[in-house]
Structure formats: C-alpha cells, structure tokens
C-alpha cells in the first residue's frame, strides 16, 4: 500500500512530489511515456519566477526532478491505464499492475493536438511533428510551416528561424492569440511569413513518404493552393490526458478533469493538479501552484486518516 502516488512528472507532478517527499510521504511518481511533460519539449522559459535570464524548459524540469529525488520521491516510467476509487482503497493500474494507495495526485497533463487530416499518423516523424525543439534542427535551410496562432506557434516559429530558410506561420484567423511580446517578436523576424485566414486541408508526401508540401485553403475566399514545405509543425493546443479516468471522475466536454473544490475531486484522497484540470491558464507556474496545493491537501488528508 502506497501513501501517495503522483501521476505525471511535469511541472505539477514534480512540484507535488517535492512537497510530498519533503513531508516524508516518500511518494511514488508514475512518469508515464513522456517524462517531464510539456516543459521537456519547450525552449527558453522566460516567465517562470526566479530566473531573470530565463531557463531552458528541460533544465527546469531536471532541476525539479532532482529536488524531488533529494527528498525521497521514487520514480517509475509506468503509464496509468485504469483507475478505481469506488471502493475503500484507491487503485491505480500502472502498465499491467494494479497498485493500491491511500492518496493519489493526478497531474497527467495534456498531449499535443493534431489536425486530424488523412495520412497523419504515418507522417508523424516524417515531416510532421508537434515539437520544434525536438525536430527543428533536422530542417536546415529548407522551408517549413507552423500551424496555429497561440504562444506555442509563435515560440516554435521563432525557434525554427535558427534552422529553416523560411517559416510560414499558418493561422486560421487574421489575428494571433499569442501574447503581445511574442507577436512583436514574430512580426519583427524577416524569416517568418504569416499566412492569415488559412487552413491546411491536406498533407502531400513524396514517394519516400516524407512531407513535401501542404494544400492550403483561404477560409475567406475559398482559394486553394499548394505550399512546398519540408516539415509541418502543428501548434494548435493540447488535449488533457484523461483517458484512464473517463466514467470515473467528472470530466468536461473538452476532456478536462473538473475539481469538486480547488484541487479536490469527488473522491476523498483523490486530488488533481496542473494542465489536466486547467482549461484557462495552462502556465508552468500555475501548474506548479496546483501541484503544491494538491500535495498539501493530500498531506492533510493522510494525517486526518491516521488521527481517526
């Protein structure tokens, strides 16, 4: 029987792990298949307090990991596939094994969304990706495109200008959603060419199955054209990782966990934190704050249990 299991090892999960470990609860962190969460695939984080010159996302995550480990957190790469809190004990299926725990903090984060076009699955890794930091350097001196209009699309476009000959930023509206400072940087960069009011309707691969071009449609005029690009970077937001909790916890129409109260769920001992339950802010620092709150609540819950 575990005291606390933490599902996820992004900003929320690792902050929860630091607090729970420091409270001597020796939490078990189930990292899943993408350890480190979204920060591990990002570039410079400029708005995490305490780093006036910014810090690389992977470095920030590594530091949090070390900090949690230092206080006694344990880590496993197992992925949560099922969950049951309907009986006396909370049970979590990690890979093929059912684990029992007194408390759980679900901080399973969110995964990149794709466009849902034909042939998408086959093209991932062959000129289609959601991670500029991971794959950008493969596309030196060739044109690429980024799809989306938020901070991620702006950040990825700017990062890709280090490698690509040209970065087309394809957005379905005529205004970016990204923050003002990111917009200013995008518009000041000569290598980035925004393509407004436009959607990608088709991926076009070469005979080797590598991305060669995209078919575009202007949503105002319905004009269609082909654009030669060696890689498409999709940055259209994320989907919460809540598959294992469907039908068990309260989930909204977009798949986010709905807390009963702050970081508490409808089940005693089951807490939720980070992007898996945050449809509004989705910042590293808000995820860390929720992770902290969830660990403090879990600690209180466990000491109340012991006192009974």
Closer CB to ligand NAP, 132 or 230, in the complex? 132
- Please pick, from the candidates 12, 94, 132, 236, the single residue that binds ligand NAP as defined by CB under 6 A: 236
Positions in 103-142 near ligand NAP (CB under 6 A): 115
d(Cα 250, Cα 260) in Å, to the nearest integer?
9
Q: Minimum distance between the CB of residue 154 and ligand NAP, rounded to whole angstroms?
A: 8
- Please pick, from the candidates 148, 259, 274, 289, the single residue that binds ligand NAP as defined by CB under 6 A: 148
- Please pick, from the candidates 122, 173, 225, 246, the single residue that binds ligand NAP as defined by CB under 6 A: 173
Closer CB to ligand NAP, 116 or 307, in the complex? 116
- Please pick, from the candidates 31, 135, 151, 299, the single residue that binds ligand NAP as defined by CB under 6 A: 151
d(Cα 153, Cα 160) in Å, to the nearest integer?
10
Positions in 69-108 near ligand NAP (CB under 6 A): none
The dihedral sign for the CA sequence 134, 139, 141, 145:
negative
Positions in 237-256 near ligand NAP (CB under 6 A): 237-238
- Please pick, from the candidates 30, 61, 123, 153, the single residue that binds ligand NAP as defined by CB under 6 A: 153
- Please pick, from the candidates 150, 240, 259, 269, the single residue that binds ligand NAP as defined by CB under 6 A: 150
Q: Minimum distance between the CB of residue 188 and ligand NAP, rounded to whole angstroms?
A: 16
Closer CB to ligand NAP, 9 or 152, in the complex? 152
57 scored as a contact of ligand NAP (CB under 6 A): no
Q: What is the separation, in whole angstroms, between the first and last Cα of the chain?
A: 18
Q: Minimum distance between the CB of residue 229 and ligand NAP, rounded to whole angstroms?
A: 16
- Cα-only R_g, the chain: 21
Closer CB to ligand NAP, 3 or 282, in the complex? 282
> Which residue sits closest to ligand NAP, CB atoms considered?
150
- Note the Cα 173 to chain centre separation in Å: 24
d(Cα 41, Cα 22) in Å, to the nearest integer?
27
Q: Which residues are catalytic?
A: 131, 134-135
Residue that is written with structure tokens 């995820």 in the block: 287
Q: Minimum distance between the CB of residue 274 and ligand NAP, rounded to whole angstroms?
A: 12
Which among 9-17, 136-144, 172-180, 239-247 is the span making contact with ligand NAP, rule CB under 6 A?
172-180
Going by C-beta distance under 8 Å and a sequence separation of 6 or more, which residues neighbour residue 262? Answer: 293, 297
d(Cα 108, Cα 181) in Å, to the nearest integer?
29
Positions in 184-223 near ligand NAP (CB under 6 A): 199
Closer CB to ligand NAP, 74 or 172, in the complex? 172
Q: Minimum distance between the CB of residue 179 and ligand NAP, rounded to whole angstroms?
A: 6
177 scored as a contact of ligand NAP (CB under 6 A): yes
Binding site for ligand NAP (CB under 6 A): 47, 115, 147-153, 155, 172-173, 177, 199, 235-238, 282
């Amino acid at each position: 029987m575990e005291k606390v299991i933490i599902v996820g090892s992004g900003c929320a999960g690792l902050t929860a792990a630091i607090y729970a470990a420091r409270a001597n609860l020796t939490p078990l962190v189930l990292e899943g298949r993408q350890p480190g969460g979204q920060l591990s695939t990002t570039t410079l984080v400029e708005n995490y307090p305490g780093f006036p010159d910014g810090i690389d996302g992977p470095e920030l995550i590594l530091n949090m990991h070390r900090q949690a480990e230092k206080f006694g957190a344990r880590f496993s790469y197992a992925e949560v596939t099922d969950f049951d809190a309907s009986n006396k004990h909370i049970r979590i299926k990690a890979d093929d094994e059912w684990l029992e725990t007194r408390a759980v903090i679900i901080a399973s984060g969110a995964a990149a969304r794709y466009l849902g076009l034909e042939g998408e699955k086959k093209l991932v890794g062959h000129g289609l990706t959601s991670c500029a930091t991971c794959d950008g350097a493969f596309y030196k001196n060739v044109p690429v495109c980024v799809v989306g209009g938020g901070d991620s699309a702006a950040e990825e476009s700017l990062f890709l200008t280090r490698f690509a000959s040209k970065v087309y930023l394809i957005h379905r509206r005529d205004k970016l959603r990204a923050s003002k400072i990111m917009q200013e940087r995008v518009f000041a960069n000569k290598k980035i060419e925004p393509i407004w009011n436009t959607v990608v309707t088709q991926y076009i691969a070469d005979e080797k199955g590598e991305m060669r071009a995209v078919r575009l449609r202007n949503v105002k005029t319905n004009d269609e054209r082909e654009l030669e690009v060696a890689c498409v970077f999709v940055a259209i937001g994320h989907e919460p990782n809540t598959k294992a909790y469907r039908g068990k916890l309260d989930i909204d129409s977009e798949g986010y966990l709905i807390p009963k109260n702050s970081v508490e769920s409808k089940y005693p001992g089951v807490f939720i934190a980070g992007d898996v339950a945050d449809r509004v802010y989705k910042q590293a620092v808000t995820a860390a704050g929720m992770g902290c709150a969830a660990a403090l609540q879990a600690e209180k819950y466990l000491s109340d249990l012991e006192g009974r």
